[in-house]
Amino acid sequence: MGIKINDKLKMKRLIPHECFVPEARYHSSSKPRTDAQYEPAPLPFVHVLLEETSDIGVNITDILYFMPTRPESRDIEFLWMSERSGYRHFYRVTSSLAHHGRLSKQVTQIVVEVICALTDPSTHITLFSVMSFESEVTQITTGDWEVSSKEIWVDETRGLIYFLGLKDTPLEKHLYVVSYQTPCPVYRLTELGYTHNVTLDKGTTEIEDQVEGLQWLASHVNFIDKDRIAIHGWSYGGYLSLMGLAQRPDIFK
């Protein structure tokens, strides 16, 4: 999971499940917990994958795309947006984590910082150890222009990123594509002379898929009353519920 700290110092952290502090384990005894019978849990590690600092400030971005990894791999790879060059550009970050207490040979620098956290004022304090690895950072887009997308579209099969940017002129927003696997120029997909915007057509194909699934299910079982089908959801599911009622009132009630 990633954690974003909304401060002038921004970090992205990957926290494995084993890093969460388990419930305190005490030996069975009638003595108070303040005695020396507390059995400490193993010291958890938090792996810092990337850290950026600035004397001015680090802009918040929601562009963080983790690439799929093999179960046996300890390499974490993700796409990241940064203004470290002075312009907003894409970066590819690769970091190797420790495995069963041993460090990967690819790790070139390690910084360990122990943090004391008071988890329960009446019982004990817990120590967290933050281990920082020097990740390999590769810049994907470069130049005196910036990526203006609030979201990106990643083709994992072909290793491509589709995004909106201001590469050709600061007055026009265009759709571009670039490879994040092989160094290559950024390619513009839209025509010059106009500004362009790209949005996902949400709430269209999803409703069609739901209706098709309902019709298939109704044709194979005999307990569905097609005149009394309700739809419910929250967040994006709430949006889909409204779209279902608006687009297919003949199906959803």
Please give the full DSSP string across 102-138, using - where no structure is assigned: B--TT---EEEEEEEEEEETTTEEEEEEEEEE--EEE
**pLDDT exceeds 80 at position 33:** no
User: Do 67 and 180 belong to one domain?
Assistant: no
pLDDT above 70 covers a percentage of the chain that reads 66
- Chosen domain end from 123, 138, 153: 138
Is residue 198 in a domain?
A: no
Domain that holds residue 53: 10-21+38-138
154 within a domain of the structure (yes/no): yes
Q: Which pLDDT score is estimated for 150?
A: 81
Same structural domain, 17 and 130: yes
Q: pLDDT confidence of 35, banded at 50, 70, 90?
A: very low
Is the domain of 133 the same as that of 155?
A: no
Looking at the structure, tell me whether residues 133 and 149 fall in a common domain: no
Domain assignment present for residue 214? The answer is yes
Find the mean pLDDT for residues 107-128.
Answer: 44
| Rounded (to 5) percent helix, strand, coil in the chain | 10, 35, 55
Assess whether 124 and 109 both reside in one domain.
yes
Residue 73 in domain: yes
The answer on 218 and 110 residing in a single domain is no
Residue ranges of alpha helices (H) inside the chain are 205-220, 236-247
In a domain, 108, yes or no: yes
123 with 160, same domain?
A: no
Angle at 198 between CA 186 and CA 184, to 5 degrees: 10
- The verdict on 172 and 240 lying in the same domain is no
Tokens 């120029």: give the residue.
185
Query: Does 134 fall in a domain?
Result: yes
Q: Are residues 154 and 112 in the same domain?
A: no
Mean pLDDT check: name the lowest of 130-144, 161-175, 179-193, 209-223. 130-144
Residue 55 located in a structural domain: yes
Structural domain count of the chain:
3
CB 117 within 8 A of CB 125: yes
- What's the chain's Rg over C-alpha atoms? 25
**Closest C-alpha to 80, from 181, 15, 152:** 152
Residues 128 and 157 in one domain: no
Q: What pLDDT does 128 receive?
A: 47
How many Cβ atoms are within 10 Å of 50's Cβ, its own excluded? Answer: 22
Residues 75 and 126 reside in one and the same domain? yes
CA dihedral 129, 77, 65, 49 (to 10 degrees): 20
* pTM, to two decimals: 0.57
User: Closest by alpha carbon to 12, among 57, 58, 48, 66?
Assistant: 48
What pLDDT is attached to residue 10?
47
Each residue of 38-68: pLDDT tens digit? 445 555 556 677 778 888 888 877 888 888 8
CB of 173 within 8 A of CB of 147?
A: no
Q: Is residue 77 part of a domain?
A: yes
Cβ-defined contacts of 57-65 (< 8 Å, 24+): 57/8, 58/8, 58/9, 58/10, 58/83, 59/83, 59/88, 60/4, 60/6, 60/10, 61/88, 62/150, 62/151, 63/90, 63/149, 63/151, 63/152, 64/2, 64/12, 65/152, 65/154
**In a shared domain, residues 125 and 17:** yes
